[in-house]
């Protein structure tokens, strides 16, 4: 394919990225961010998948089979931890305006400038090999797609101005500068960049899938075909099984750990995961979407490696199988798509890595150095922030050309993955200090400095230095005879430990020294005030997020000086914007006396722009810090901890109390209702009792004192007294009955013949009905239906219903009907009277205790309001049912429905 087409396609693709980026920025400016969603966030995390993934995995698989998977398995296994770990890191970073992984570590350890400087230097050294392989990948893929042999074309990699990788480097530098240094954002948020890399993640996944599908389904007949062919060939068959020995197992372990750590703490991963994060909750979705992405992009790796080994002649670089296979078949369009996918993978990695490194270098390395030369402090308004942008642009170019240099010296002779793992091993060195700082109170600045330094030193002598030796830059004596000719110091067999792959070996020894130095120096050093305060924020970020007002160190500053400070370093325009977005109180009491809130805000803004350590240097001449001893700060930290714990406990208690009080309120309401009912009942009962007693007392007194009573009168009075005594007795019995029903639910009942008992009840009340001229129509068949209820109780039910009917039926032309009907399973007896209808609103209360129907025009009801309640309770004891209807057509009808006994429905 013509190089022109490839160059034009690359340029068009970059232009498309800029269009996407500027669209994202425009949207962000009108407040409709396209980046603020979990999917874009997850795709931006896929910047983890670089040219290494895109080309290198196939090469790795072609050499060692399935072991390429470890690099993706590590982050996948670690993904569930993200919600705990990354969430905490994001909360801390948002609170403190942290903009890089170095800032995160330096800020934890008392905003240490020194720790920031050494970590920055180490990370730059550690990441440069990684960037170099991206340059290599673009260069090699360009060569392959244009099918140009470097010796017979314009390009000549030995001559600087003819080396195309040099131009690729320049192009990427321009690309990165345009994306990353448009302006100085206090939060280092780059919506355009994120939109572009998320897009690139989609492109590289699609391109890889296109290549994979083409190779598997067009060059072969699917997965089965490739694996069958591969298993017939000795060279490829061995790739299908996992080697089982100590060396490989150790290597698996370290690669899993390395990749898990790298996916979180590589500078570019930290940048996209933490610095560019717009919403903490996205971490939750990303922790499944990101592993899914890695799974998809790896599905075709092994088949492509096998396909390459089957189809390609010996000696073709296995890293480039994905590209060379379609080219071999003459499918240039597929090849171009794959080339662009690889270009995306490399370009996005380079852009984000270099931007994050440039932030570190400018904020944690250059700024502190600049501030040491006093000139910067007295710089003119806004110049420093402008200078910082220029510095960053220079840093970007420098880093890229360092990577180019490494590529020229080392990378071109190594496979992509080997070099990538060297960078991963470098990142591992910050892991102990970082995680230790998040969870361990004793972790100290000295521990971190010593641990990281020791780890990096071991890393240096066991990984990059030997690569320099192997590529002939250093004497290869070092490899075989050890440093200084000491055998114990052989770089790949330190202290005589052999039989380990270089990566495992380096990780093992660097971690031994790193962790033990970190631990020992932390244990035996005392932390200063700033360290303790920062450490407390890191470890207990939740309390600081919930209680933003906690102040550990009291500070004093002049409002005027702080505003001047901002103007000097951010420029007037930016300062105005920053001041506008501050909502709190600027001064406390005294006009010029800045509030704690404002001091913190200024510090945060400066931290965002220049890093924690530099911000501290900038602001410290302007604030007077309350002098405080270590013991005092420990005391304060303990107090705030206690206060927060106390307030948390209190909150829980309050919620508990609320619940309890709600429950109590409900119970109380029920009790109150019951109380009202009881009170009504007592009032009713006492009234009912007082009435006969009043009568009895009055007449007894009359009989006793009034001597002029006729014998007839006396007799009449005595008769009244007796009747009233009966009334009292009846009432008391009923109350006792209710009591019994409520306390004694289960007693066995004897069978009672329903119709005989009903006849008995009618007989007892007939005289009263005659008295009142009430007409009774009772159609009682001679049935032997029995009800399982004691006879006296059933009688009571009938008597109650009948007396009610008598009481409430029409006063002049009273009519009571007793009817019955039956079906297969039950029989029903109806008591109907022609009295006043029961109002529907009273219907529901009818069977409740203490209810008396009160109807203005009815004569005062006699009784306690217990009759129907007792009746219902009895009827239910017999598993039967009582119901009532009241309407104009049929009058008021009480119906008793009893279940039929199996053998008792015969006529007797």
Partner 1 sequence: MSESKKILIVDDEPNIVLAIETILDDSRFELFTASDGETGLQLATTIHPDLIILDVMMPGMDGYEVGKKIRNIESLDDIYILFLTAKGTKTDKEDGYASGAELYMVKPFDNDELLEKVLYLLGLDA
Q: Is 687 in the site for partner 1 (CB under 8 A)?
A: yes
The residue length of the chain stands at 908
CB of 668 to partner 1, least distance (A): 22
Nearest CB to partner 1, comparing residues 22 and 698: 698
Rounded to an integer, what distance in angstroms lies between the CA atom of residue 766 and that of residue 587?
97
Q: Please report, as residue ranges, which positions from 241 to 260 form the binding site for partner 1 (by CB under 8 A).
A: none
The answer to whether residue 858 forms part of the interface with partner 1 (CB under 8 A) is yes
Q: Residues 588, 596: contact at Cβ < 8 Å?
A: yes
Question: Which residue lies nearer to partner 1 by CB, 671 or 722?
Answer: 722
Are the C-beta atoms of 426 and 467 separated by less than 8 Å?
Answer: no
Q: Are 342 and 137 a contacting pair, CB within 8 Å?
A: yes
531 vs 724, beta carbon nearer partner 1: 724
Q: Which is nearer to partner 1, 707 or 747 (CB)?
A: 707
CB 337 within 8 A of CB 13: no
Least separation in angstroms between residue 900's CB and partner 1 is: 42
Stretch that binds partner 1, among 245-253, 315-323, 490-498, 690-698 (CB under 8 A): 690-698
CA angle 325, 331, 334 (to 5 degrees): 85
CA distance 14 to 348: 11
Q: Using CA atoms, how far apart are residues 572 and 603, in angstroms rounded to an integer?
A: 17
Query: What residues numbered 453-512 form the site for partner 1, per CB under 8 A?
Result: none
CA distance 398 to 392: 10
Stretch in the footprint of partner 1 (CB under 8 A) among 291-299, 355-363, 756-764, 849-857 = 849-857
Closest CB to partner 1 among 577 and 858? 858
CB of 692 to partner 1, least distance (A): 8
Q: Is 705 in the site for partner 1 (CB under 8 A)?
A: yes
| Rounded CA separation 335/327 (Å) | 6
Which stretches of 543-669 are assigned E, i.e. beta strand? 555-557, 623-625
Diameter over CA atoms, the chain: 155
For residue 695, state whether it binds partner 1 (rule: CB under 8 A).
Answer: yes
Nearest to 383 by CA among 243, 571, 202: 571
Stretch that binds partner 1, among 157-165, 333-341, 548-556, 684-692 (CB under 8 A): 684-692
CB of 711 to partner 1, least distance (A): 15
CA 716 to chain centre: 88
* From candidates 333, 650, 665, 702, binder to partner 1 by CB under 8 A: 702
* Smallest separation (angstroms) from partner 1 to the CB of 849: 19
- Angstrom distance (rounded) from CA 824 to CA 693: 51
- Helix 101-108 to helix 612-619 angle, to the nearest 10 degrees? 60
Nearest residue (CB) to partner 1, 494 versus 696: 696
What does the angle CA 21 – CA 402 – CA 186 come to, to the nearest 5 degrees? Answer: 40
In this complex, which beta carbon is closest to partner 1, that of residue 581 or of residue 686?
A: 686
User: Residue 502 and residue 491: Cα distance in Å, rounded?
Assistant: 8
Task: Look up tokens 């013991």; give the residue.
Answer: 631
Phi first, then psi: give them for residue 181, nearest 5 degrees: -130, 40
Minimum CB–partner distance for residue 697 and partner 1 (Å): 4
Q: How far is the CB of 549 from partner 1 (least distance, A)?
A: 54
Number of residues forming the site for partner 1 (CB under 8 A) = 27
Of 476 and 695, which CB lies nearer to partner 1 in the complex structure? 695
Q: Which is nearer to partner 1, 681 or 898 (CB)?
A: 681
Closest CB 907 distance from partner 1, rounded Å? 46
How far is it, in rounded angstroms, from Cα 78 to Cα 424?
Answer: 15
Cβ atoms < 10 Å from Cβ of 754:
25
For the CB of residue 871, give the shortest distance to partner 1 in the complex, in Å. Answer: 23
Binding residues for partner 1 restricted to 860-889, rule: CB under 8 A = 860-861
CB of 720 to partner 1, least distance (A): 5
812 binds partner 1 (CB under 8 A): no
The two three-digit tokens of residue 682, written as one number: 């007592």
Using DSSP bridges, classify how beta strands 815-822 and 775-778 pair: parallel, antiparallel or unpaired: parallel
Query: Whose structure tokens read 């009808």?
Result: 893
Nearer to partner 1 by C-beta: 202 or 838?
A: 838
Nearer to partner 1, 235 or 679 (CB): 679
For residue 683, state whether it binds partner 1 (rule: CB under 8 A): yes
Select from 43, 449, 49, 57 the least CA-distant residue to 266: 49
Residues 449, 461: Cα–Cα separation, whole Å: 18
Contact 505, 492 (CB under 8 A): yes
Nearer to partner 1, 695 or 885 (CB): 695
CB of 688 to partner 1, least distance (A): 9
**Footprint on residues 585-644 left by partner 1 (CB under 8 A):** none
Binding segment for partner 1 (CB under 8 A), chosen from 301-309, 328-336, 459-467, 683-691, is 683-691
**CA geometry: angle 357, 360, 362, nearest 5 deg:** 105
CB of 825 to partner 1, least distance (A): 42
DSSP summary character for residue 242:
-
Q: Which stretch binds partner 1 (CB under 8 A): 196-204, 535-543, 620-628, 695-703?
A: 695-703
φ, ψ of residue 774 to 5 degrees: the values are -95, 130
- Residues 376, 584: Cα–Cα separation, whole Å: 30
Q: Is 701 in the site for partner 1 (CB under 8 A)?
A: yes
- Judged by CB under 8 A, the residue of 624, 706, 715, 879 near partner 1 is 706
Asked if 854 is part of the footprint of partner 1 (rule: CB under 8 A), the reply reads yes
Selected from 697, 729, 772, 879, the binder of partner 1 by CB under 8 A is 697
Q: Does 690 bind partner 1 (CB under 8 A)?
A: yes
Q: Which is nearer to partner 1, 211 or 863 (CB)?
A: 863
Question: What is the rounded CA–CA span in Å between residue 180 and residue 392?
Answer: 9
Q: Which residue stretch of 462-470, 584-592, 824-832, 857-865 sits at the interface with partner 1 (rule: CB under 8 A)?
A: 857-865
Least Å distance between CB 708 and partner 1?
9
- 856 is a site residue for partner 1 (CB under 8 A): yes
Selected from 859, 889, 903, 907, the binder of partner 1 by CB under 8 A is: 859
User: Judged by CB, which is closer to partner 1: 445, or 727?
Assistant: 727
Which CB, 657 or 718, lies closer to partner 1?
Answer: 718
**633 burial class (0-12, 13-18, 19+ CB within 10 angstroms)?**
buried
Q: Does 693 bind partner 1 (CB under 8 A)?
A: yes
| For partner 1, the closer CB: 499 or 701 | 701
| CB closer to partner 1, 525 vs 695 | 695
> Which residue among 280, 720, 780, 837 contacts partner 1 (CB under 8 A)?
720
d(CA 394, CA 763): 118
Give, in order, the Cα–Cα distances in Å from 475 to each of 46, 497, 696. Answer: 39, 22, 130
Residue from 188, 276, 603, 724 in contact with partner 1 (CB under 8 A): 724
Specify the residue, 585 or 697, whose C-beta has the smaller distance to partner 1: 697
| Closest among 875, 759, 878 to 820, alpha carbons compared | 759
Helix, strand or coil, per DSSP, at residue 233: coil
Q: Do 892 and 835 touch, CB atoms closer than 8 A? A: yes
Contact between 179 and 195 under an 8 Å Cβ cutoff? The reply is no
Interaction between residue 313 and partner 1 (CB under 8 A): no
* Residues at the interface with partner 1 (CB under 8 A): 683, 686-687, 690-691, 693-699, 701-702, 705-706, 713, 720, 724, 854-861
């Amino acid at each position: 394919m013509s190089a022109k087409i490839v160059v034009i396609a690359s340029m068009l693709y970059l232009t498309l990225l800029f269009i996407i980026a500027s669209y994202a920025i425009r949207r962000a400016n009108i407040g409709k961010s396209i980046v603020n969603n979990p999917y874009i966030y997850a795709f931006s995390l896929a910047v983890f998948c670089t040219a290494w993934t895109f080309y290198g995995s196939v090469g790795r698989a072609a050499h060692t089979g399935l072991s390429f998977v470890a690099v993706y398995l590590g982050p996948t296994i670690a993904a569930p931890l993200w919600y705990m770990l990354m969430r905490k890191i994001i909360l801390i970073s948002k609170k403190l305006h942290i903009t890089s992984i170095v800032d995160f570590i330096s800020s934890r350890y008392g905003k240490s400038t020194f720790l920031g400087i050494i970590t920055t230097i180490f990370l730059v050294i550690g990441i440069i090999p990684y960037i170099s392989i991206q340059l290599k990948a673009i260069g090699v893929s360009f060569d392959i797609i244009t099918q140009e042999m470097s010796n017979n074309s314009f390009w000549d990699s030995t001559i600087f101005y003819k080396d195309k990788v040099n131009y690729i480097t320049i192009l990427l530098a321009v690309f990165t500068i345009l994306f990353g240094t448009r302006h100085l954002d206090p939060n280092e948020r780059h919506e355009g960049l994120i939109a572009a890399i998320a897009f690139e993640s989609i492109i590289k996944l699609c391109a890889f899938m296109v290549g994979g599908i083409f190779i598997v389904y067009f060059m072969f007949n699917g997965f089965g075909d490739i694996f069958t062919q591969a298993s017939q060939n000795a060279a490829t068959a061995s790739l299908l099984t996992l080697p089982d020995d100590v060396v490989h197992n150790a290597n698996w372990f370290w690669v899993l750990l390395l990749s898990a750590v790298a996916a979180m703490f590589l500078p570019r991963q930290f940048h996209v995961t933490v610095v560019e994060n717009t919403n903490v909750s996205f971490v939750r979705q990303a922790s499944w979407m990101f592993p899914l992405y890695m799974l998809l992009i790896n599905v075709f790796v092994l088949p492509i490696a096998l396909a390459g080994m089957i189809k390609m002649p010996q000696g073709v670089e296995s890293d480039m199988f994905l590209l060379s296979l379609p080219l071999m078949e003459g499918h240039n369009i597929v090849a171009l798509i794959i080339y662009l996918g690889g270009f995306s993978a490399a370009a996005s990695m380079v852009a984000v890595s270099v931007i994050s490194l440039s932030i570190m270098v400018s904020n944690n390395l250059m700024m502190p150095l600049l501030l040491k030369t006093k000139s910067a402090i007295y710089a003119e308004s806004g110049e420093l922030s402008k200078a910082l942008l220029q510095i960053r642009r220079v840093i970007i170019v420098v880093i890229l050309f360092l990577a180019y240099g490494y590529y020229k010296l080392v990378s071109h002779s190594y496979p992509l993955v080997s070099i990538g793992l060297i960078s991963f091993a470098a990142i591992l060195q910050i892991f102990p200090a970082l995680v230790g700082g998040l969870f361990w109170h004793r972790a100290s600045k000295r521990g971190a400095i010593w641990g990281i330094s020791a780890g990096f030193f071991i890393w240096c002598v066991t990984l990059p230095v030997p690569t320099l030796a192997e590529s002939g830059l250093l004497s290869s004596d070092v490899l075989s005879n050890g440093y200084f000719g000491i055998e114990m110091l052989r770089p790949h067999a330190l202290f005589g430990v052999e039989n380990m792959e270089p990566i495992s070996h380096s990780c093992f020894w660097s971690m031994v020294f790193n962790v033990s130095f970190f631990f020992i120096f932390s244990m035996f050093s005392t932390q200063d005030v700033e360290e303790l305060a920062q450490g407390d924020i890191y470890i207990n970020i939740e309390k600081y997020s919930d209680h933003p007002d906690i102040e550990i160190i009291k500070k004093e500053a002049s409002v005027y000086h702080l505003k001047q400070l901002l103007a000097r370093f951010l420029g007037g325009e930016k300062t105005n914007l920053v001041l506008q977005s501050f909502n709190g109180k600027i001064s406390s009491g005294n006009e010029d006396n800045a509030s704690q809130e404002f001091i913190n805000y200024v510090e945060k803004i400066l931290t965002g722009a220049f890093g924690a350590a530099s911000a501290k240097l900038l602001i410290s001449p302007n604030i007077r810090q309350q002098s405080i001893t270590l013991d005092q700060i420990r005391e304060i930290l303990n107090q705030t901890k206690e206060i927060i714990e106390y307030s948390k406990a209190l909150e829980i208690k309050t919620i508990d109390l609320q619940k309890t009080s709600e429950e109590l309120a409900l119970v109380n309401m029920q009790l109150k209702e019951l109380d009202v009912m009881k009170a009504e009942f007592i009032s009713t009962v006492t009234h009912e009792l007082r009435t006969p007693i009043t009568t009895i007392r009055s007449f007894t007194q009359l009989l006793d004192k009034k001597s002029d009573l006729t014998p007839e009168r006396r007799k009449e009075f005595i008769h009244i007294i007796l009747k009233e005594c009966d009334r009292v007795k009846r009432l008391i019995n009923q109350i006792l009955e209710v009591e019994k029903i409520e306390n004694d639910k289960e007693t066995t009942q004897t069978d009672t013949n329903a119709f005989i008992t009903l006849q008995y009840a009618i007989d007892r009340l007939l005289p009263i009905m005659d008295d009142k001229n009430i007409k009774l129509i009772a159609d009682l068949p001679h049935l032997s239906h029995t009800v399982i209820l004691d006879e006296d109780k059933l009688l009571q039910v009938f008597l109650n219903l009948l007396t009610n009917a008598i009481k409430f039926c029409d006063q002049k032309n009273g009519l009571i009907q007793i009817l019955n009907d039956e079906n297969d399973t039950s029989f029903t007896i109806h008591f109907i009277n022609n009295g006043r209808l029961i109002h529907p609103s009273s219907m529901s209360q009818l069977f409740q205790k203490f209810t008396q129907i009160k109807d203005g025009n009815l004569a005062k009801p006699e009784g306690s309001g217990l009759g129907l309640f007792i009746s219902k309770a009895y009827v239910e004891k017999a598993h039967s049912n009582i119901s009532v209807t009241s309407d104009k057509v049929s009058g008021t009808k009480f119906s008793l429905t009893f279940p039929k006994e199996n053998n008792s429905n015969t006529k007797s």
